[in-house]
Structure 1
Amino acid sequence: MIRSVVTGTGSALPARRVSNAELAKQVDTTDEWIVERTGIRFRHIAGEGETTATLAAEACRRALDAAGTAAAEVDLIVLATATPDQTFPATATKVQAMLGIDDCVAFDVAAVCSGFLYAVQVADSMIRAGAHRRALVIGAETFSRILDWEDRTTCVLFGDGAGAIVLEAQESEEKAGRGILAAKLHADGRHNELLYVDGGPSTTGTVGKLRMKGREVFRHAVVNLASVMEEALKGIDLTPADVDWVVPHQANARILDATARKLSLPAERVVVTVDQHANTSAASVPLALDTAVRDGRIRPGQIVVLEAMGGGFTWGAAVLRY
């Protein structure tokens, strides 16, 4: 059977790394307050000349290099972001041009922190349908540019960055072969007011700023992330005990701990990068995945679960054999 196989991963971070102590000089907060409530210690903030597209393109170059694939071989680009360079055209087309690809399908997906999971399923479906052979799937954000830097409850939580994978159509054994084995996505628009941006082209004509009711989001996140992971695994007759690594959305260390406990997963099987990157929205899952691949934790043949929840609410999980 044909499956979408991850053949390379890559990531990129802005040059400027900001500690909690540095942030405390401009916001009414402390390192202790942030670490205790979130586990975050550092985040990267985009500077002049650094945009969602430039970070995405750099992550793609590294993923292509890891895959041993030339940019010209890519025939599909799906970029997940809530912070595009422009209202239009799609930031994916800017990345396409930066990579020197003359012609391929390229478009953006908007599902906030779950965006990378949505992009993975879209690309996987197009590959398995036979429409494409090789895709770049990207999560990239410059969330620092939609933060209210006077709201200490939100501005300390987020950072900027990008992550990318190369997905390639390959023949795979039905049970033991590599590739994406299952994916489940959900959305429930009734919770818009819990996590949103208070602007947009058709409402205020402005970009707006991020607004969040953290306590309510936390409660929904733990329940939704645990349930969607179980749902994805059950569909392919696997259990949490079969999983080698969980690569979750890096929003808050307490959410990661609570989700692992709910699934009876040992903490050492959960990839955690929130302390170094903060919440990078759609970029957080591919950033964490690339980190764990490059440091040798995630190895070929292992079962890996990717999961995320974001504004909308949207949430999802994907199971793959790396």
Structure 2
Amino acid sequence: MKNKGSLKSNSAVDLFKLIGAYLVVSIHTSIFSSYSDIFNFYFTDVFARLAVYFFFVASAYFFFRGLKFENSKIVKCKENFSKFKKYFFRITLLYVIWSFIYFLSDIPKWYSLGYLTFKNFIGFALSCITNSSHYHLWFLISLVYAVPIMYFLLHYVKLRTFAIISVVIYLVGLLYGSYSFAGMPFESLWNIFGDKFVRMRTVIFNVIPICTFAIFCDKVNLSKKVINVITMVLFLVFSAEVMILNFYSPETASSYSIFTIPAVVFIFLSVRNINISIAHSYILRRLSTIIYCMHPLVIVVLSIFIDGSKLNSLLYFVIISAITTVVGLALVFLNKNVKFFAFLKYAM
């Protein structure tokens, strides 16, 4: 049974997941591009980019927190395996459902471009495995890969040892990613790995290290004030690092930076410490998933009627967010109150 403090913590995290979903929408609508390219870059390529990493930390924290550990290893037992199967099935099905939805939405475009061929169908299927079915669904496919790898390895490797290995792996990712301008040997192998298995490379060198340190959140024994101060300092340092790296490696600046992991972990700790209690906060959780997964579809459908590039960018963000939110709330309501729509839970 969860205690009251736990419920408050979950409510705060659910609320910030929803805020994070809107931040992702802001990235894909270039929210402030009508006003300032520099500020829009900072907001969308620095600040908002942390949203998905917050999702990774929250997902890993709550999943691994529910498992039994003994001697810093995951216990081999039916209860743990049952929780793993349930979680793995849920995120995999969520990815498959939204991949199929975007597959259907792509067919008219493929037809108009003459790409409606068997070869293109095979290419889409392979992309679903090696990359992602749609540009924003990389978060889901990364969890599909990262969680099983971590779950099974932590049966045999102690958590602290795994954390050290994760740091080393992340440092390798840094040196071949955002800090590749320093010059590294065997860079061609890194590029080949990325070209053939881009998502697995991200999972190994980025996602797994982030998820690993999420498990240590309960071991941070600091006061709320100290955590908040550290969070502010780390965020400022992270921002400065990404702004500087953007001059050298803009494609990976916000993904592979030294302070990404400490900044996002302490942001999560600060959020978890917020004492709020929201009735039915599961609605926020489900709505955040729908907004994250659905908003590119809304962008595509709206483009049939409106040229988003000709609208004020902030207005465009508000329109996309509003439509997605209304549809999302309707889906949550139908799922909760109409038995026929019970299946919708698998898409949120």
Normalising by the residue count of structure 2, what TM-score does the alignment of the two structures yield? Answer: 0.26
More helix per residue: 2
Q: Higher relative contact order at CA 8 Å, sep ≥6: structure 1 or structure 2?
A: 2
More strand per residue: 1
